Structure 1
Amino acid sequence: MPKTKQKIEIEALNLDIQARARLAGKLLMSLDEPSVSEVERLWLDEAERRLDEYRAGKVQGLPAKDVFQRAIAE
């Protein structure tokens, strides 16, 4: 673990119980709500994975017309 992270961890553990609880709550909430950049990165990773599968012949594309007809029917 880099020294900066170690220092933060040590300082956090030395906080009083109420301050640690507040910090823990904030950290947990930050896990529930990914940032816009994180969501964009995840979608980019997914798009690249799908393109790789398509190019490798693992999946086949569908005509947009068929996709939209199916979506409307559902």
Structure 2
Amino acid sequence: MKVIIMLSIDELMREALSLSNTQRAFLAEKLVESLEFDIDEETQKAWMSEAKKRRDEIYNGNVLPISGEEALAEVRKILEQ
């Protein structure tokens, strides 16, 4: 018998955020790949290249990721100046 467990978006997000940085980066890459884009191939290649570059920066420890809350706080601070 196959049991299917459906998580709410909040539960799924909590589970995803509990993953390691590497696992979250992989998941994010796969989610982005799953989206259908109505953009030209060159633009899509450029975005994918940038995403992979950023992923590699995190993997290599050159960049430390911050939470969405921290990022938004930084943006708000910049906009207030």
Larger RCO of the pair (alpha carbons < 8 Å, separation 6+): 2
User: Could you tell me the TM-score, scaled by structure 2's length?
Assistant: 0.44
Normalising by structure 1, report the TM-score: 0.48
- Bigger Rg, which one: 1
Identify, as 1 or 2, the structure richer in helix: 1
